[in-house]
Amino acid sequence: MEGQRTIEREVEIKGVGLMLGRPVTLRLKPAGPDEGVVFVRTDLEGQPSVRLAPENISIEIPHSTCLKEGKARVVGVEHLVSALVGLGVDNVRAEIDSEELPICDGSALPFVQAIKNAGIKELGRPKKEIALDRPIYLSNGERQLIALPSDSFEVTFVFDHPKLPQQVAAFKITPEVFEKEIAPARTFCLESEAEELKSQGFGSGGSEENVVLIADGTGEPKVELRFPDEFVRHKILDLVGDIGLLGYRLKAHVVAIRSGHEFNVEFVKKLAFERGKLPKPIEAAQIYQVLPHRFPFMMVDRVLAIEPEKRIVALKNVTFNEEFFQGHFPDHPVMPAVLQVEALAQAGGYLMMHGAGKGAIGYFAAIDNAKFRRPVLPGDQLILEVEVVRLRGRFGKLRGVAWVDGEVAAEAEFTITLASEGDDRNG
């Protein structure tokens, strides 16, 4: 069995974050066995840390993988984590003086070079691994991910973008292969996608120095590619980084079709659930024991994660059979915006009523700063992320964000008050 590894000495990387555009200095430092990868926000009071672990994955920034623990958030971890996984480094302390990692040239190569310059050493402790005894599969319409039992870590990826040529690539992930064939592949997007991100307030750190921009009309890149199939290689780079969020080395052959960060993260959580690394999701039968809502007004299908009195992540599958689509609108079905807020409120209500005792009911007391960013359509999966702003007695102020495919669909702040059944209140 391979042993755990860390770096031999400190190394520093400076740059700007891609999504938020802020200057950042990243310092990688050696760590001991079984410490894993820990991010430290040196710019925040108390220098809080964020562990690389499935339960800390947070869907907050489009086209980016985030980690959040307590009030500390780290954005854009996937390229660094991909480099660590690719080179077989298990334990590192990563200190950053901003909330987003540097994008560098848009690839993982600068991180690979920095890690190699720092030196890699063995720690004399067996590597933490997850080996599969059966396939694990996830499908969502056209997106598919499957992990097959294997003695090594391999990835096969089918990149199938409606405006770009299909690309397929497969690699066994070893340090040599990763450095030469995967790490140099850069972030890419269509010019229209870049403009859309900027209209949402993201992507201000992007430039032709760190993003391969592609013309919408011709599908031609604005700069010379490093590989003829650079796009699919970068998708593999991202997938390796997202799978690294397990915190364990995965021994499997992963086959991905049209996958992206949000779907990768969902798959990582499923792998963690299957292997007992995360608590099992809370399903509908258990939700009914807390929330009084029933069909057709139940807007929470599953609770993916919950931190009592702090945060909840829930899921709503939006199907064509929803009754509201019969009239909103028959020829162009769109989920009513008010029901998106209702879904967030139900998730927040579950968070507050969980453990409050039988008979508790949550009522709306106020809604503030509601915004709606994109339509929610049949077939969409609404990820409901709600965090507590303030709790005071039976009143709770919460902030919620509803996501679809890594994009914000709706957001709002709202106040919920808990009451007993039979109380005459607004709801």
Catalytic residue annotation: 261, 328
Residues composing the chain: 427
Q: Which of 176, 150, 174 is nearest to 255 (CA)?
A: 150
211: left (phi over 0), alpha (psi -120 to 50) or beta: beta
Q: Is 423 helix (H, G, I), strand (E, B) or coil?
A: coil
Query: Omega of the bond prior to 336 within 30 degrees of 0, cis?
Result: no
Q: Which of 288, 332, 287 is nearest to 306 (CA)?
A: 287
- Give me 189's structure tokens: 């997007």
CA distance 216 to 188: 12
CA distance 382 to 60: 13
| Cβ–Cβ under 8 Å, residues 166 and 159 | yes
CA distance 385 to 315: 9
| Cβ within 8 Å of residue 225, ≥6 positions away | 212
Query: Omega of the bond prior to 296 within 30 degrees of 0, cis?
Result: yes
Residue with tokens 């998106």: 340
| Cβ within 8 Å of residue 392, ≥6 positions away | none
Amino acid in position 357: G
Q: Which of 107, 188, 85, 166 is nearest to 157 (CA)?
A: 166
**Host H or E run for residue 176:** helix 175-177
> Taking the CA atoms of the chain, what radius of gyration do you get in angstroms?
22
- Give me 101's structure tokens: 């990692």
| Cβ–Cβ under 8 Å, residues 12 and 27 | yes
Residue with tokens 């990835």: 155
Running DSSP on this structure, what letter comes out for residue 116?
H
